[in-house]
């Protein structure tokens, strides 16, 4: 199974709005189709061959704008000197490579060890579009905070969560290891369940289509659908979404994401966690967010706007972003995290 780069090319992104939701319009399925194509180039000249891209002027201009976090590592850690670093990591495409089958997006043991080491020393959270239980099953680390369903369902480690457990929607412990500390859209649970069932039914005739229940949102995957049938996927999703004005659509990597129209996203989840951990608005904290998807832009924007943190976009193709730096793929993410932890240890012993 290879890795993919199906990110929208430069200039094609609309960076407005939380997670770039697509507003409801007549004939919108046609508009979606355009976005589906734009966000899913069939082949990337940069795939697995970064060296060739260095001769590409568009890529060269882009990498100048979003320098590699590995190349500017010293600059990044200089910002963190004497500060507490808080780490926020997206899952798919950041900690695990993009694969055809969403259920197979496993994280390597090596990556798990690197993330575990980070979580032992730094407040660390995984912020994912997946249901929180599903991402926990992949990551299997109890030392972390998890924000599933694009930040709408936040869970933390037992023992560390008491300070944040007084927030609304606090629920009981999960699997005896983690505590749910915040759910932003509980009233949407029945409607999401209903829409999930309708979408499964309406797309069942489309070869390769897959509908995933992410608890507070639904993903309609078209990665394995023949491009000539993408219109059908868009139409089926549109037909159902029309009946639910309180739901909206966002585009991901060969996936249509159906989610509640609420003022909550990955950026809000980052703010919530920083605040809950007593790490917000502090000059002595450096939040670092690493992600690859459009929905991660909300978090990059929060960090950029508050001038408090650093966003790192994982991408091997040029695309506009609110991030400051870039990394090519999950293996570079792993290298960056390893270096960060080595630096952190050295910094701690030199004090």
Catalytic residues: 90
Residue with tokens 């299997």: 140
The least CB distance from residue 289 to ligand L263DTV3, in Å, is 12
- Residue 164, classed as helix, strand or coil, is coil
Question: How long a stretch of residues is the chain?
Answer: 351
322 near ligand L263DTV3 (CB under 6 A): no
Those residues whose C-beta lies under 8 Å from the C-beta of residue 34, and which sit 6 or more positions away, are none
Query: CB of residue 219 vs ligand L263DTV3: minimum separation in angstroms?
Result: 4
| Helix, strand, or coil (residue 53) | helix
Name which position in 28, 215, 223, 322 contacts ligand L263DTV3 (CB under 6 A). Answer: 223
- Helical H runs in 172-308? 189-203, 230-241, 266-276, 297-305
How many helices (H) and strands (E) the chain has is answered by 11, 13
Stretch that binds ligand L263DTV3, among 19-27, 68-76, 87-95, 271-279 (CB under 6 A): 87-95
* Closer Cβ to ligand L263DTV3, 130 or 180, answer by number: 130
CB of 162 to ligand L263DTV3, least distance (A): 27
Distance CA 143, CA 120 (A): 7
Residue 287 sits at φ, ψ, to 5 deg, of -80, 135
Strands 178-183 and 173-174: antiparallel
Give the separation between CA 210 and CA 223, rounded to whole angstroms: 9
Our CB check for ligand L263DTV3 shows the closer of 247 and 285 to be 247
Residue 212 binds ligand L263DTV3, judged by CB under 6 A? yes
Can you tell me the distance from the alpha carbon of 166 to that of 26, in angstroms, rounded to the nearest whole number?
Answer: 43
Task: Give the C-alpha separation, 139 to 141, whole Å.
Answer: 6
- Backbone phi and psi for residue 252, each to the nearest 5 degrees, phi listed first: -120, -155
Report the C-alpha gap between 142 and 179 in whole angstroms. 10
221 binds ligand L263DTV3 (CB under 6 A): yes
> What's the CA gap between 265 and 294, in Å, rounded?
11
Residue 91 contacts ligand L263DTV3 per CB under 6 A: yes
178 touches ligand L263DTV3 (CB under 6 A): no
Judged by CB under 6 A, the stretch of 72-80, 194-202, 250-258, 343-351 that binds ligand L263DTV3 is 250-258
For residues 212 and 238, which CB has a smaller minimum distance to ligand L263DTV3 in the complex?
A: 212
Shorter beta-carbon distance to ligand L263DTV3: residue 178 or 293:
293
Binders of ligand L263DTV3 among 290-309, rule CB under 6 A?
293, 295
Which of 153-161, 211-219, 274-282, 303-311 is the region at the interface with ligand L263DTV3 (rule: CB under 6 A)? 211-219
Considering the complex, state which of residue 102 and residue 267 has its C-beta at the smaller distance from ligand L263DTV3.
102
Footprint of ligand L263DTV3 on 95-134 (CB under 6 A): 98-100, 102, 105, 128-130
* Spatial contact of 143 and 119, defined as CB atoms under 8 Å apart: yes
Q: Is 292 exposed, middle or buried (0-12, 13-18, 19+ CB in 10 A)?
A: buried
Return the residue of 202, 203, 219, 326 that touches ligand L263DTV3, per CB under 6 A. 219
We find the least distance from the C-beta atom of residue 183 to ligand L263DTV3, in angstroms, to be 17
Q: Where do contacts with ligand L263DTV3 occur on this chain (CB under 6 A)? A: 90-93, 98-100, 102, 105, 128-130, 212, 214, 219, 221, 223, 252-255, 257, 293, 295
């Amino acid at each position: 199974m290879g890795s993919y780069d199906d990110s929208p090319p430069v200039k094609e992104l609309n960076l407005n709005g939380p997670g770039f939701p697509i507003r409801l319009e007549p004939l919108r399925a046609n508009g979606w189709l355009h976005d589906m194509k734009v966000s899913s180039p069939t082949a990337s000249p940069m795939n697995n061959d970064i060296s060739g891209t260095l001769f590409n002027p568009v890529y060269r201009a882009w990498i100048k704008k979003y320098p590699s976090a590995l190349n500017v590592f010293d600059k990044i850690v200089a910002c963190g000197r004497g500060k507490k670093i808080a780490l926020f990591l997206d899952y798919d495409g950041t900690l695990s490579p993009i694969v055809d089958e969403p259920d197979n997006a496993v994280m390597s043991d090596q990556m798990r060890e690197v993330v575990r080491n980070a979580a032992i020393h730094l407040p660390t959270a995984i912020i994912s579009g997946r249901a929180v239980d599903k991402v926990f099953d992949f990551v299997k680390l109890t030392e972390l905070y998890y924000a599933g369903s694009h930040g709408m369902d936040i869970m933390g480690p037992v023992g560390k969560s008491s300070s944040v457990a007084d927030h609304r929607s606090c629920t009981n412990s999960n699997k005896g290891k983690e505590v749910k500390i915040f759910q932003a859209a509980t009233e949407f649970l029945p409607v999401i369940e209903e829409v999930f069932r309708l979408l499964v039914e309406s797309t069942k005739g489309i070869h390769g289509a897959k509908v995933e229940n992410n608890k507070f949102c639904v993903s309609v995957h078209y990665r394995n659908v023949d491009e000539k049938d993408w219109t059908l996927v868009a139409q089926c999703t549109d037909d159902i979404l029309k009946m639910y004005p309180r739901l909206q659509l966002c585009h991901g990597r060969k996936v249509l994401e159906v989610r509640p129209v609420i003022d909550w996203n990955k950026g809000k989840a980052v703010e919530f966690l920083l605040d809950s951990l007593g790490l917000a608005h502090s000059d002595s904290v450096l939040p670092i967010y690493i992600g690859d998807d459009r929905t991660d832009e909300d978090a990059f924007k929060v960090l950029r706007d508050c001038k408090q943190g650093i966003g790192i976009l994982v991408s091997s193709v040029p695309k506009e972003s609110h991030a400051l730096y870039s990394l090519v793929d999950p293996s570079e993410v792993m290298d960056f995290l390893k270096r960060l932890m080595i630096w952190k240890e050295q910094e701690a012993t030199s004090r």
